[in-house]
Amino acid sequence: MSDTAPVFQLDTTQSDTLILALTGDWIQGAGAPDFNDLRTNLNALSPKTLIVHFDNIEQWDSILMAFLLQCSNHCQDKGIALDTTSLPESAQRLLDVATAVRPHQRPEPGDYHWLTSINPLRMLKATMGNIRESLAFIGEVAMALANLVVGKANTRYVDFRAFCYQSGPDAFAIISLISILVGMILGYLGAVQLQQFGAGIYVADLVVIGTLREMGALMTAVVMAGRTGAAYAAQLGTMQTNEEIDAIVTLGISPMEFLVVPRMLALVVMMPLLTIYADVLGILGGALVAGGMGITPLQYFNQASAAVEMNHIMVGLIKSVTFALLIAVAGCRSGINSGRSSAAVGQAATQAVVTAIIYLIVADAAINILCQQLDY
């Protein structure tokens, strides 16, 4: 086989009619010339006609076609007549097929500088829009719940039961692990400080109050945001991609009643139960640490039971219900607003978790401040 480098030559003897001579092997790896070189020449000469001469080329493949296609598109844009009659018939046909549909012109996306993305005004506007949409979503959910109360909602009990199972019993293992460990962390944290004052026994109070009021509900919520919130977003996002949500709407069913309400209610029912379970295990975790410090289980539980008060438990439960609502709103909203592609579904799941955790921390702080003010 001959190994001649592919080159083009522009014959410029006539200024109106240029002859483009292509020679060599126009194949992959042979180093075909760049079309931009030809473009510069053409722009400088601005001819009326371009005749392609196809001389003793023995081999050619898509490299040649890609070059010719750019050539043809350029000539169309500039109104240059292109004569390709000397091409082999097969290349001619391929070029015809490739140029049958003009390249799609994407509408200009507007002139954005990357700095505009950190423009505080624009960020504020985006955040406000986000909050407004969230509120609208919550409003729609509230109307769906009202319909449920008067018995007019298209919510299926079987769905509710299935989601209860998914978000409750299925989460037992991970909740157990996390809450025992968090109880132990609280225990160590208190033990080191309290022993300096000879008040080691009060570690029980610290673990009980810390778990009941704060960590039990919060850690359960964080786990559920990652587990269930993301799952809700992925389920609803996939349904969006699959046109299932379209099908629901056109069956005359409200997606809020049919999809969001059972998911939300399942979380609202299961989260307080999981929180109580996490509380018990957290206090047990504290006992393990206390045992290591020479406090007997009897002493620990005696002290602990004195520290358990109804209002601590209530604060934890109120938090867990609030968190459940927020996780469900974040998950379902991201899912329903998801785009229609696998990448968009992934984004929806990520967004669900991130939003849910932000909501959780803000709500937790707000409830703590409220309790402090109310002296509860």
Partner 1 sequence: MIDAPPPIEVRDVTMAYGDFVIQRDLNFPINQGDIFVIMGGSGCGKSTLLKHMLGLIAPAAGDIVYSGQSFVHANSNEQERMRQRWGITYQSGGLFSAMTLAENISLPLQLYTRFSPKERMEIIAYKLALVGLDGYQDYYPSEISGGMRKRAALARAIAMDPDILFFDEPSAGLDPISSRLLDELIVQLKESIGATVVMVTHELPSIFAIATNSVYLDANTRTMIAYGDPRELRDHSEQAVVRQFLTRSSATKIEETA
| Footprint on this chain of partner 1 (rule: CB under 8 A) | 93, 96-97, 99-100, 107, 154, 235, 238-239, 241-244, 246-253
Residue closer to partner 1 (CB basis): 61 or 244? 244
Q: At what angle do helices 216-224 and 310-336 cross, to 10 degrees?
A: 20
Nearest distance, CB of residue 150 and partner 1, angstroms? 15
Instruction: Pick the closer one to partner 1 by CB: 112 or 197.
Output: 112
We find the least distance from the C-beta atom of residue 94 to partner 1, in angstroms, to be 10
Residue 246 or 309 having the CB closest to partner 1: 246
In whole angstroms, the minimum distance from the beta carbon of 333 to partner 1 comes to 19
In this complex, which beta carbon is closest to partner 1, that of residue 102 or of residue 113?
102
Residue 136 sits at the vertex; the CA angle it makes with 134 and 139, to the nearest 5 degrees, is 110
Query: What type of residue is 326?
Result: L
> Cβ 350 to partner 1, closest distance in Å?
22
User: Taking the complex as a whole, how short is the minimal distance between the CB of residue 340 and partner 1, in angstroms?
Assistant: 9
Instruction: Read off the DSSP letter of residue 100.
Output: S
Question: Of 240 and 320, which CB lies nearer to partner 1 in the complex structure?
Answer: 240
161 residue type, one letter:
R
**CA nearest 177: which of 317, 288, 324, 278?**
278
Which stretches of the chain are DSSP H helices? 35-45, 62-78, 89-98, 120-149, 157-167, 172-196, 203-209, 216-224, 230-241, 244-250, 255, 261-292, 297-307, 310-336, 342-374
Instruction: Please list the alpha-helical segments (H only) found in 6-102.
Output: 35-45, 62-78, 89-98
Residue 21 has φ and ψ, to the nearest 5°, of -100, 125
d(CA 25, CA 70): 18
DSSP helix/strand/coil, 199: coil
* Distance of closest approach, residue 93 Cβ to partner 1, in angstroms: 7
Angle at which helix 342-374 crosses helix 310-336, to 10 degrees, equals 150
Q: Give 105 or 196: the residue with its C-beta nearer to partner 1.
A: 105
Specify the residue, 56 or 105, whose C-beta has the smaller distance to partner 1: 105
Least Å distance, CB 250 to partner 1, is 5
